[in-house]
Structure 1
Amino acid sequence: MSSRPTLILGSTSRYRRELLERLRLPFITVSPQVDETPLSGEAPAALACRLALAKAQAVAEQHPGAIVIGSDQVADVDGEPIGKPGTHERAVTQLQRMSGRTITFQTAVAVVRGDTQFAQTLLAPVHVRFRTLSDAEIEFYLRTEEPYDCAGSAKCETLGITLLDAIDSDDPTALIGLPLIRTSQLLRAAGLNPLEGAAP
């Protein structure tokens, strides 16, 4: 009987941890220690894919027998990558810029398994239509939610949903930060089926 490989989430994000818990697989989390600075001229989708894979590879190098998940999300505003605001002022600027517009959140997931040389990445773009927001609405939302660790300041799982008119995605958890349909697809390809445990 084959043993179940260790599953590692290469992330310290509590949002991704809570999402992965939905698959009911035992896993641990490890900080990937990856420089997330965009390359010159790098498109948002390419940045998200590169960082997701880099995070998974960084952890897999330390745990070669494990299956490692890496993920990254970048907001795409006019082709410019917009990440986590970090501060209230930057969050205000981000939301003012996205007000009344449709923004694509590029969410990438990668799975790496060092002992079999498996390494694949999938992209789950999410198209988000923001309402036209008043400065007072932006201020109230930010003071209430403090979403400074969320790409584009959009925390849709709570009050942030009221900022939006529509979300268009074929992977419902992608906007929160980990597209579970694609994650499950990659886990199966790497040899771990959430519905079966370790694949033969």
Structure 2
Amino acid sequence: MSRFVLPSEDVLRAREKLVLDHFHDEVRQDWDATLATFPHPHYELISQMAVHDGNEEVREYYHDTRLAFPDQDHEIIAFRHGVDAVIVEFWLLGTHKGPLGKIPPTGSRHRTRMTAYFIFDEHENLVTERIYFDRLTIVKQLIGGVDKRSPRGLLKLGRILKGLLAMSGDAPDPRLLETTPPDFVR
């Protein structure tokens, strides 16, 4: 596959349908349908340097994120096609009603701009969803809703900071560190 030639329109339309179905099924929290878009589910969260690989790990990721943001939704901003990928820019939104890792719920809403690369193999199978976003943007919005003037709010802020510190020592997934530069043949 040449990196300079896009696949046919039929292939691009099929990829687009699969990615839009994937987004729709995630919002509906239909995990069986969402996972069916992959032969082997694989998520890479670049801001966290974390990988969720396989059915069990991805279901756990879905569970944890929907526990934290049960009303999670998205607004698509832009949709682009690449030689081996669909690139989607979107707003992710939700209300923090449950624990986010070790961060207690704040009740605050967030609206965070993200980019997801849906990577396809040579057989047109979705093999990776690679997501880029700024974690600080989410944290600022979650903390922003805490009343910092009340004793209860200050206590909550202390628990949030303690949770953030506890999560800051996670080692990056080595699969995201071992990269190979592209071969630019002239």
TM-score normalized by the length of structure 2: 0.30
Structure possessing the higher relative contact order (Cα contacts under 8 Å, 6 or more residues apart): 1
TM-score normalized by the length of structure 1: 0.29
Higher Rg: 2
